[in-house]
Amino acid sequence: MRLALDGGTPVHTSGWPAWPPPATPEQRALLLEVLDGGAWGATAGTRVAEFATAFAASVGAEHGVCVVNGTVGLFLALRALGVGPGDEVIVPAYTFVASATSVVLAGARPVLADVTPDTLHLDPAAVERAITPRTRAIMPVHLAGAPADTEGLQAFGIPLVEDAAQAHGAARHGRPAGSLGAVACFSFQSSKAMTAGEGGIVVTCAREVYERLWSLHNVGRRLGGGWYEHPEIGWNLRMTEFQAAVLTPQLSLLDGQVAARERAAAYLAGELAAVGGLSLLPGPEGTTRHGRHLGVVRYVPAEFGGRSKADFVAAMAAEGVPLDAGYRSLSREAALRPYVGEASCPVAETAEDSVVWIRQNLLMADEDALADIVSAAAKVRHEFRAQPEMM
């Protein structure tokens, strides 16, 4: 039972599914079609517009604008809602830094609100305390693929900008993520459930918001206007036809991939709980479909001989199970200090010290590999308890 860190034999030695998955024949054919056709940019071809329409429809939205990445998508969403200098946007403290930096990019101030202890999603009670007369938007993050409590947040009467970067295929009370707020942003970065290496999309049901999004991402042009007509300031933030070619076939694969990850998460939730000291966090109540971009696991050091999260992650990696240490609380990010001040977010800070992630490629593994995750955790717990941290 000696740990692999100490020279023992690793539990898992056969590798894990690749992410992104191998390219499909349809993706290869579409890429070559774009390459040989010569219409590589979105203003020359049709694939970006066709993908935007199809993706928006898949999440219950009426309009979609494809952009260069998810961060820019959040920035555009805020600007399309009129957010700018002097305004405030409430964001959760436990999220990727882009949720906050997109607010800074829009010229506004990010205001950090803490998250709920059970799900690590934006806490409506913390949001209520953070609202001021300058609050122009609230940005719920659909962490790990589970939609946030948007009903609780909508009660404040402030527009919601869904950060749905991790929530492809997710749903709340039967409604898809992407249709739960005023506007929503998805990412197609390399790690995401749908990916073109980079890229993103902003979706909305409001025609006026859509027209502003389209103009802002297309150097200030207006729909139906002239090529050199620029009624407002905008930027060239368009997706390429190559990215749309890679993404389009993934729409038909998403449901099966989400279902596979949900089965894996259900298995791991029960088995890791039986190990002791580990629990897979649920989505907020009302989650009817969890995208399972991540399996978020609470690690209890006292059940592992007092050993730190860093020790646990290192030991699991040596056993062949690479876990992710997860986010830092944004309240501890020095780069944000000039914007957020001395924010106190104890739940997010506790999560930074006690939460690990199982990434989605591991959740796509077969049953034997999933069992190895459990066996490795049990082995590490046994050995850590036999050799506890010396205080």
* 192 catalytically annotated: yes
* Residue in 109, 168, 192, 298 annotated catalytic: 192
SS (H, E, C) the chain: CCCHHHCCCCCCCCCCCCCCCCCCHHHHHHHHHHHHHCCCECCCCCHHHHHHHHHHHHCCCCEEEEECEHHHHHHHHHHHCCCCCCCEEEEECCCCCHHHHHHHHCCCEEEEECECCCCCCECHHHHHHHCCCCEEEECCECHHHCCCCHHHHHCCCCCEEEECCCCCCCEECCEECCCCCCEEEEECCCCCCCCCCCEEEEEECCHHHHHHHHHHHECCCCCCCCCCCCCCCCCECECEHHHHHHHHHHHHCHHHHHHHHHHHHHHHHHHHHHHCCEEECCCCCCEEECCCCEEEEEECHHHHCCCCHHHHHHHHHHCCCCCECCCCCHHHCHHHHHHHCCCCCHHHHHHHHHEEEEEHHHHCCCHHHHHHHHHHHHHHHHHHHHCCCCC
Active site residues: 192
